[in-house]
Structure 1
Amino acid sequence: MLENWDSWTLGKVLTLLLTLGILMIWMQIAVYHHRGKFHKWQMWIPVFALPFFALTSFLVVVFPYSWAGWLQTIMCSLIILAGLYGGMLHIRAIAGRTGGLRYENLQLGPPFVLPFTVAAFAVIQLFNLWY
């Protein structure tokens, strides 16, 4: 029934799961940033970058060649930097609210964990590619 299933290594399966996860997070980020009216240009970074990250992840699964791996490595590095930058922007935005970094502002402000989650997905994919 499941012919050639042994050729699907754990790395390929994990890459596909990470790709689906990134696409789900991308949809949520697009909704949040649209709700925020894209009032800062930095809000466009994950909206444009995450589909390319998912595309390069899918390319690694479909075409397991070294060029696809290097493309994915470059994309992972960019996503890690973008995620860390976005997390800092979210924390700075929360700190700028009335009351600063209080628990209520963490609940109501920008989701400060979401950019770090995106960066963590990229770190997981880098480990997946290189180890």
Structure 2
Amino acid sequence: MFWDAWPIARILILFVSLAFMLMAIQVTMYHYRQNFHHKAMWAPVILSPIFFIAGLVFTFYNANGLSVLFQILMWLGVVSGMIGFYYHFRGVGVRVGGWALRNFLIGPPVVLPVMFTAVSVLGLIAVYWRQPL
């Protein structure tokens, strides 16, 4: 079977790249809905498809250059997600009523940037895994 020869790290990299494809769609819809009113909104919209393509290529071609590129991109994803969390959390707080539960429900999704960071960390775990790719 095709999957029998793949180590878990390689499968994780494939999963991470596919997750970024789905997140690219979601984050683009959310930020488009807000008319990209802050320049930082463009970061995940641009980075997610790049992460998807880099991860997909790295899944099928295990080269040192691709490994380094993927690591850099995943660290960039961690930082971008943390910055996004700050902006989303602050965005909830500036709404009328501050950090009330209703503002977390209707304001910027605070969990989505955390998910962006978590998937990036999963990509880093896959790269630093001790098994060969």
| 1:96 aligned residue | 94
| 2:118 aligned residue | 120
Please list every run of 5 or more consecutive structure 2 residues that lacks an aligned counterpart in the other structure: none
Tell me the matched-pair count. Answer: 129
Residue 6 of structure 1 and its aligned partner are, at CA, apart by: 3.2
Q: Over aligned residues, Cα RMSD in angstroms?
A: 1.1
**Distance in 2 between the 1:15 and 1:106 partners?**
32
Do residues 17 (structure 1) and 15 (structure 2) align? yes
The aligned amino acid for 1:87 is: F
The aligned amino acid for 1:126 is: L
| 2:84 aligned residue | 86
Residue 118 of structure 1 and its aligned partner are, at CA, apart by: 0.6
Q: Percent identity?
A: 29
In the TM superposition, 1:1-131 aligns within 5 A as 2=1, 5-131=3-129
* Greater relative contact order (CA < 8 Å, ≥ 6 in sequence): 2
Name the SS of the counterpart of 2:109 in structure 1: coil
Q: Which runs of 4+ in 1 moved over 4 A?
A: none
**Distance in 2 between the 1:15 and 1:127 partners?**
9
User: Deviations 1:87-124 (Å, cap 9, x if unpaired)?
Assistant: 10000010000111111100000001001101100001
Please list every run of 5 or more consecutive structure 1 residues that lacks an aligned counterpart in the other structure: none
For normalisation by structure 2, the TM-score amounts to 0.92
Q: Which moved more, 1:75-84 or 1:7-16?
A: 7-16
For normalisation by structure 1, the TM-score amounts to 0.94
